[in-house]
Amino acid sequence: MQILTTAAEVRRELDKRSATVGFVPTMGALHAGHISLVERARAECDTVVVSIFVNPTQFNDPDDLIRYPRTPEADCALLAEAGTDIVFMPSVEEIYPAPDTRQFAFGALERVMEGEHRPGHFNGVGQVVSRLLEIVAPDRAYFGEKDYQQLAIIRELVRQLALPLEIVGCPIRRDADGLALSSRNVRLNAEQRAAAPAIYRTLVQAGEKASEMDVEQLEQWVAEQIDAVAELKTEYIAVADAATLQPVASWDAPGDKRIFAAVWAGDVRLIDNIAL
């Protein structure tokens, strides 16, 4: 496994290989969810590239950027075991040699849920992902469905830029108690970690109760159930169209539906979603 730090090194190495390239962009602090993306890429592509880069432009909260966990040595050990060919670990200056002033317009996709509660976040995602895709030029790029709205935004980014690659969405990986794997989970204290599985458990129960109440009542019920758990505080609960991410007013509305949650456990923000 090669560990490279510059775009020129990555391009020079990939230009030697006449093979399909699978790419997994990450911010490090890797867990089994990330590794499942790497394994999917390994199964489908000849060369697997993983980037580790904590992107400052997608953090609307500077303290969140400072607190974001960084474990580069452990990350590289996991990636080597998973069969990664190239790890790209650039500096901020390598990704942004000059300030990135680009403004992306993702329309209605970015005006709900995460976009509403984290202003500027998805523009930062667009900046870093477009830059990484420019450097790696993969045939396929792999993203987890825990960040379901981000996945939709990235698909729209690729469409707008007419990039010749496939975006592959991969299922959420969970701990045995149902908590969606996240790099932020390591910041949970023992009480918060014990409480956090209530998020997924309540979403599953919501799917079972959907026929008993209307959409607004279900959203309110989920929020009340989660807020009744010590250590947890709901930021939002949203039932949305799985394709457009727009709010669903009625179960009779056409299209598949998902329920999305953002919940605070102390100062740790957790997100999750499931299909209904």
Please report the pLDDT score of residue 65 as a whole number: 84
Per the CATH hierarchy, to which homologous superfamily does domain 2-170 belong? HUPs (3.40.50.620)
Please report the pLDDT score of residue 243 as a whole number: 96
pTM for this entry? 0.94
Domain with CATH 3.30.1300.10 in the chain: 183-270
Pick the closest to residue 151 from 134, 136, 173, 129 (CA basis): 129
Judge whether 121 counts as a catalytic residue.
Answer: no
pLDDT tens-digit profile, the chain (276 residues):
999 999 999 999 999 987 999 999 999 999 999 999 999 999 999 999 999 999 999 988 888 888 888 899 999 999 999 999 999 999 999 999 999 999 999 999 999 999 999 999 999 999 999 999 999 999 999 999 999 999 999 999 999 999 999 999 999 999 999 999 999 999 999 999 999 999 999 999 999 999 999 999 999 999 999 999 999 999 999 999 999 999 999 999 999 999 999 999 999 999 999 999
DSSP state of 23: E
Domain with CATH 3.40.50.620 in the chain: 2-170
- Does 183-270 carry CATH code 3.30.1300.10? yes
Please name the helix (run of DSSP H) or strand (run of DSSP E) that holds residue 3, with its range, or none: strand 2-4
Kindly report the three-state secondary structure assignment for every residue of 38-103: HHHHHHHCCEEEEEECCCHHHCCCHHHHHHCCCCHHHHHHHHHHCCCCEEECCCHHHHCCCCCCCC
HSE-up (13 A, CA, CB side) for residue 97: 4
Pick the closest to residue 164 from 268, 29, 20, 24 (CA basis): 20
Pairing of strands 257-265, 232-241: antiparallel
Buried-exposed string 66-97: b where 16+ CB fall within 10 A, e elsewhere: eebeebeeebbebbeebebbbbbbbeeebbbe
Buried-exposed string 189-206: b where 16+ CB fall within 10 A, e elsewhere: eeebbebbbbbbbbbeeb
Please report the pLDDT score of residue 128 as a whole number: 97
131 residue type, one letter: R
Please report the pLDDT score of residue 197 as a whole number: 98
Helix (H, G, I), strand (E, B) or coil at 268: strand
Residue 111 structure tokens: 């005006």
Residue 59 structure tokens: 């953090």
| Measured distance CA(19)–CA(42) in Å, rounded | 12
| Measured distance CA(262)–CA(114) in Å, rounded | 8
Is there a contact between 41 and 13 (Cβ–Cβ < 8 Å)?
no
Q: Which entry of 31, 34, 117, 121 is annotated as an active-site residue? A: 34
